[in-house]
Every structure is written in structure tokens, then in C-alpha cells.
Structure 1
Amino acid sequence: MIAVSRFWHDARVRGGLIQVALVLAVIGFILWIGNNTVQNLQARGIRVGFNFLDRSARFPISESLLPYTPQDSFLWAYLVGLTNTLWISLLAIVGATILGLGVGLAGRSDHPLLRGLAGGYVAVMRNLPLIVQLLFWYALATTAFPAPREAWQPLPGVFLSQRGIFIPSLPILTLLLPLTAAVLAFRLLPRLRWLGAAAVFAAGVALFGGPPDIPEQRGFSFAGGTRLSPEFTALMLGLVLYTAAFIGEIIRGGIDAVARGQWEAGRALGLTDRVTLRQIILPQALRIIIPPLTSQYLSTVKNTTLALAVGYPELGLVVNTVVNQTGQAIESLVIMLGVFLTISLSVSLLMNWYNARMAIVTR
């Protein structure tokens, strides 16, 4: 008894036993829930498993990057939804980062009007729920624009109508090759970064690209070009404008956290404020900016599930449609959970790697 008492009063042993007991209890609870779920589904005549993925989906998807027909399988429908989710996430992150940088710099401007506009934008966007903003932009895109025959044409080849925004398009390879060359020029021409990159990109499009596909009005719609649907437009506007407000505050706070002596040192060297910001302040501020920026990127990916409110066919909408057609709710949600967990972990690993590269190494 004395040995048992000493054994139990050892804090490390007692803590280990308690943790093992908790783990076993959690595993037992999960198994109990899973067994009850399977029995209830079988009682309702719903077969458990992923065999349904090979069956024909038999429902349309309004827009997708990958080719899709209702005769394709449920698995392919999931891949189409996943591709849409990744595409909208990438565009929203890039757009919100660029706009957020502008908002953050404007928020610390010496011009009172510019600073006030940035502060008002941040206050409004951060205090309005994202779902409300998505519904507002969707209502605006479907009601404020005219019918296709009276479509607005703000620029040559660009049409705004209730059916969406139609813009000229170029083949992907036509843009990919010049864009790659422009990135290389940006890296290799330090004195002419933006000008050189723009010149290389324009020359690449002129050399390798054919004529752009210009949309033309035909009947009650348009033919040719690229169509940005009202659902896509509303989702992009909502995500970018909402996320940019948070990113702007993160960037402003990161810049303000750098000691003011760094600005004075740049001026003492004869550098302009713009060069000081780009070459001295931002590299130091990134070490403060990256961790909260990672959280915003993860939130942006998760917020794409709100596309269900405006009808954009990302993964969440596809999963909801599959569940309604097959009743395989558990399997579909497990797939969705696994996909978003994988995306979130991948974004975290990428940003953590970049954060480690920007960290100050002390020896």
C-alpha cells in the first residue's frame, strides 16, 4: 500500500495516467457515436461508405475551371468544387493583400483626408458581417446593372449587365509565358524592376499571344471573352474588401512597430521616404506582420464557404447538393473537413516557412 501511495503521489505518473484515461475516454466516445450513427443510417436504408463517389452526379454546376457535365461522377464534382474553392481563395488573398497594403499605408499617411478615408473604410468593413456584405454585393450585381441589350460599356470590349461582367480574354499560355518572363525581369533588373517587368510582359504578349477574344452582344447575352458571373463578382468583392480591412490594420501596425529611428537613419543617408519604406522599414515590419497575416489568409480560405449564400459553386455548395441527392452526409462532411484541414495546414506551412526565412538569425 505504501508503494502504491508513493506511486500515485508522483506528479508525473499521476499526470500520465490521467492523460491516458482521457484519451481512452475520447476514443470510446467517438466509437460509440460512430456506431450509433452507422446503426441509425442503416435503419433508414442509407448505406454507409464512399461507393457513391463512382456514381453519376446528375446535377449541373453553373461555372467551373475544369470541364464538367452532369454525367460525371460525384468524385469529379467534388474536384470541380475544390478547384473553384482554391481559385477563389487565391484571387481573394492576392487582391486583399494588394488592397490591404494600400489601406495600411494610407492609414499612416500625413494627409488627414487620406488617413480619415482609410480609417473609415476599416471601421465600416470590420464591423459589417461578411455574409451581409456578400448579400449586398450580390443584390447590387443582379439589380443595379441593366439588361444585356442595354449593357454599360465603360471600356472597349468590357460590358456590365445583369448577366455578369464580360471582359476580353487571352489563352492561359499567352499570359503564363510573358508573366514568367516579367517575374524574371523583375528579379534580374533591380534598377528597372516595375518598368522592366511591364515592358517584358507587354513584349511577350505581343510576340507569343494571338488577338484577344473580345465579347460581342448576341441576342439576350454575349458571346466570346470571359464572363464574370454575378455570384463570382459578389463573392470576390465581399472577400477582398472585407479581408483587406484586417490586412490593412495588420500592415499599419507592423510598420508603426518599427522604431522611428529607422526612418531617421534612412533620411540621414539621403534616402527618400519611399525608398526607406521599401528597403528598410518593410523588411523589418514583415517579421511582425507575417504571423497575424497567416491567420487572415486561413480565415479567407474558410470564409469561401459563405459562397453558399450567393450561389457560387465552391466545395461547400457542391457538398450540400451531394448530401441532398444521396443522403451521404457523414461521408461528404468528412471529405469537406479533410480538404479544408489540408488546405489550412498547407497555407500555415508555407507562411511559417516564409516567416522563418524573414527571421533574424543570431549567432
Structure 2
Amino acid sequence: MRNQIGAPKGLSLNDPRVRAWLFQILTIVAVVGLGWYLFHNTQTNLQHRGITSGFDFLERSAGFGIAQHLIPYTEQDSYARVFVIGLLNTLLVTFIGIILATLLGFIIGVARLSPNWMINKLATVYVETFRNIPPLLQILFWYFAVFLTLPGPKGSINLSDTFFISNRGLNMPGASLTDGFWPFVVAVLLAVAATALMVRWANRRFEASGQPFHKFWAGLAVMLVIPGLSVLLFGNPLSWEMPQLKGFNFVGGWVLIPELLALTLALTIYTAAFIAEIVRSGIRSVSYGQTEAARSLGLREGPTLRKVIIPQALRVIIPPLTSQYLNLAKNSSLAAGIGYPEMVSLFAGTVLNQTGQAIEVIAITMSVYLAISISISMLMNWYNKRIALIER
């Protein structure tokens, strides 16, 4: 009789590894089959309707104007340039909104923990009000009820003869590059590098000897002196053009259109309400013993919050904060409700209506939002790992 000891086992569904591989193979086959069916069905329907597919339409002339474009644009430019303009406008709102919402959210979140009754209740009212109103309604409110009701350019609100607010937007001084711009950029980079080296040296010195060093004031001096020397040697890096009222509108300078102001303000206020709750819960997660230990060392309330509580709370704050950043980026598509020229209203709206290339346009738009979301997630995950506790 043959000895079966050590003989390899046959394939059996009773083996968990065999079942795992089988289920994965079946899943892959099902996904590929469904994808092929959808692709084949789409191609067949397009051929029956005489619709050509492909991305050649991106090279055709757009033939329409755009209210806001961060790069030069004319109506004769291609749809590809329209795509770039929509992408830049989306990134502009996302970038500004994330910064402002983070600052406002941290302030409101800390205010909710204030022992002052008035500050605490005002912060609570802010959070409970703005996080329970849909963002689209807030956008419409700021656009139609606030900015469009402002006076015209002739009756605009004048702020120090520099900024002018009207129903046409916010007019401000515009900057243009001079010959001293790039030397100034190099000087700023050198100042940043010097400050980083100084901070690293100060930290090592403190760990070795226990002697503190005024890193903030020293870094501030470096950041002012080196770029200041560049300005003295090569001149101002920028020249400024002031807006002037001529006829029925302002000319010169920069203008932030009402659609941009309403969208940014609404998304900032809405997202900050959620960030405030995240900050409050993160601070609450830090043991009160940390505060007592800081007080026993003679630290005041401000340094205790900045140097003891917030660094520990960030480990709890960052993961849900990432979700709010992603929500803000995706909520920027609500700008279609007020006509701000971002990706959805400009590319998935106007371009789609003119070209009829629905599949290509929607695929490009979805890919853009996917890329923006993945980029934000990767950046925040990297930062989260940087501040994570290292266990031994």
C-alpha cells in the first residue's frame, strides 16, 4: 500500500485557500465581463446614432467667452484650453477654500471649548446653523442675496482707495513681474533653507544642553533680511497696477468675480462648521492630565494649547479632516448653480452641449475630480504618518 504521508493534497473547496482564489478569479471575470459588455453596448449605440467617439474634439475652436480665466484665453482657443481653464478655476476654489476653512474651523473649534459663556455659545450657534443648511442654498444666498444686491461700480464700497466692492466683484491692485522677481524668489528659497537649518541646529542644541533658542524671532529675522537684501540690490519683484473707474466699470488691476466670492465664502463657512467639531473632538481626546502637567511646569494657557494639546490632538484630527477637504473639493462642482466657470459648469456643461461628446467629456471630468481627491488623500496621509507616534 502506497504511503500517503507527505503527499500533496488535491484541490478541494473545503480548503479556504482554494475558495479564496476561486472567488477572486470569479470576481475578476465578472468585472471584466461587465466592463466589456458596457463598452461594446456603448460602441454599438454610438454607431447606430452616427456619433463619432474620440478626443479629437479637444482641438476644435471653442467659440465662446469665459468670465474668469487664470491664463490668457480668446474665443478662438481650443476646447483643450477650456479644459485647462476649468481645471485651474476648480483648483483655485479648492485651494483657497481649504486654507480659509481650516483657519476658521480651528478658531471656531477652540472657541467652542472656551470658558467664556458668550464665546462658547456663539461658536455653538455658528456650528449648529451652518452645518445644517445645504451648501447649495448657502451658495445661492451669498450670490443672489448679498453680492448681486451690492451697488454698481459707480457706487462701489471704497476701502482705502485700493479695494472696491460692487456687484461686479472685488477689484484690487494687480501685480506684474519685474526684473527683480526671480532674484527675489531665489532669496526666499535661500531664507527658507537657512531657517530650516537653524531650526534643526536649535533642536539639537536643546536636546544636548537643554538651552532654549528663540527660533521664531531668529527665523523671522532671516526671512526678512535675505529677501530684503534682494529688493535693495535688484529692485521690487512686482509692480502694482491700481484699479480705476472708467465709464461703467473698473479697468486695471485684478477682479474677483461675484461667483468666485460667493462660492468660496459659502464653501468656507459650510466646511468650517464641520472642521470645528473635528477640532473640538480632537482636543477633547487629549487627556486632561497633559494640561495639568503643562500647568505644573509653569506654561500658560496659550503655550499649553499650541505646544502640548494641539500636537497631540492632530493625530485624531487629521483623518476626519481629510474627508472634509475631499468634500470641499467635490462640493465646488455646485458652482454650476451660479455659473462660476469651473469643471462641471464649463466643461461638463457648455463643452458637452456644444460637442455632444458625452462619454469623453464626463470621463475627463470624473478623472479630474478623482485625481484631485487622490492627491489630497495622499498628501494628508503623508502628513498623518509624519506626526504619528513612533512605537518601539
Same fold (TM over 0.5): yes
Counterparts in 2 of 1:197 and 1:105: CA distance versus 1, 3 Å? farther
Partner residue of 2:90? 85
Give the whole-Å Cα distance in 1 for the aligned partners of 2:218 and 2:268: 26
How does 1:1-363 map onto structure 2 within 5 Å?
7-171=12-176, 177=185, 190-192=215-217, 196=221, 208-210=236-238, 212-319=240-347, 320-363=349-392
Counterparts in 2 of 1:147 and 1:202: CA distance versus 1, 3 Å? farther
Shift of 1:211: 5.1
2:53 counterpart SS class: coil
Bigger Cα Rg: 2
2:175 counterpart SS class: coil
Give the whole-Å Cα distance in 1 for the aligned partners of 2:350 and 2:35: 27
Do 2:188 and 2:227's aligned partners in 1 also have CA atoms closer than 8 Å? no
Letter in 2 for 1:35: H
Do 1:141 and 1:233's aligned partners in 2 also have CA atoms closer than 8 Å? no
Do 1:185 and 1:193's aligned partners in 2 also have CA atoms closer than 8 Å? no
Do 1:186 and 1:196's aligned partners in 2 also have CA atoms closer than 8 Å? no
2:171 counterpart SS class: strand
Unpaired runs of 5+ residues, structure 1, are: none
Unpaired runs of 5+ residues, structure 2, are: 1-8, 199-213
Do 2:148 and 2:258's aligned partners in 1 also have CA atoms closer than 8 Å? no
Give the whole-Å Cα distance in 2 for the aligned partners of 1:219 and 1:196: 46
Give the whole-Å Cα distance in 1 for the aligned partners of 2:216 and 2:98: 28
Give the whole-Å Cα distance in 2 for the aligned partners of 1:252 and 1:86: 28
Do 1:97 and 1:247's aligned partners in 2 also have CA atoms closer than 8 Å? yes
Do 1:231 and 1:312's aligned partners in 2 also have CA atoms closer than 8 Å? yes
Deviations for 1:125-172, whole angstroms, at most 9, x for unmatched residues?
Answer: 110000000011110344321011111113331111111111223336
Give the whole-Å Cα distance in 2 for the aligned partners of 1:220 and 1:180: 43
Do 2:168 and 2:257's aligned partners in 1 also have CA atoms closer than 8 Å? yes
Letter in 2 for 1:264: E
Letter in 2 for 1:290: I
Shift of 1:318: 2.1
Counterparts in 2 of 1:144 and 1:195: CA distance versus 1, 3 Å? farther
Give the whole-Å Cα distance in 1 for the aligned partners of 2:263 and 2:283: 30
1:7 counterpart SS class: coil
Give the whole-Å Cα distance in 1 for the aligned partners of 2:316 and 2:61: 49
Do 2:192 and 2:223's aligned partners in 1 also have CA atoms closer than 8 Å? no
Deviations for 1:176-231, whole angstroms, at most 9, x for unmatched residues?
Answer: 84876886687656242796589669958896245532211111100122111010
Give the whole-Å Cα distance in 2 for the aligned partners of 1:179 and 1:233: 30
Give the whole-Å Cα distance in 2 for the aligned partners of 1:10 and 1:326: 55
Question: What is the aligned-residue RMSD (CA, Å)?
Answer: 2.7
- TM-score with structure 2 setting the length: 0.85
Do 1:217 and 1:223's aligned partners in 2 also have CA atoms closer than 8 Å? yes
How many positions carry a matched residue from both structures?
361
Shift of 1:269: 0.9
Give the whole-Å Cα distance in 2 for the aligned partners of 1:121 and 1:197: 40
Give percent identity, aligned residues only: 44
Deviations for 1:220-261, whole angstroms, at most 9, x for unmatched residues?
Answer: 100122111010000110111111111111111111111111
- TM-score with structure 1 setting the length: 0.91
Counterparts in 2 of 1:260 and 1:241: CA distance versus 1, 3 Å? same
Shift of 1:59: 2.0
Do 1:101 and 1:247's aligned partners in 2 also have CA atoms closer than 8 Å? yes
Bigger mean CA deviation after superposition, 352-361 or 309-318: 309-318
Give the whole-Å Cα distance in 1 for the aligned partners of 2:238 and 2:320: 43
Give the whole-Å Cα distance in 1 for the aligned partners of 2:364 and 2:291: 50
Do 2:177 and 2:237's aligned partners in 1 also have CA atoms closer than 8 Å? no
Bigger mean CA deviation after superposition, 188-197 or 345-354: 188-197
Shift of 1:303: 1.1
2:241 counterpart SS class: coil
Counterparts in 2 of 1:280 and 1:171: CA distance versus 1, 3 Å? farther
Shift of 1:323: 0.8
Give the whole-Å Cα distance in 1 for the aligned partners of 2:328 and 2:177: 25
Bigger mean CA deviation after superposition, 115-124 or 204-213: 204-213
Give the whole-Å Cα distance in 1 for the aligned partners of 2:356 and 2:99: 37
Do 1:181 and 1:200's aligned partners in 2 also have CA atoms closer than 8 Å? no
Give the whole-Å Cα distance in 2 for the aligned partners of 1:234 and 1:302: 16
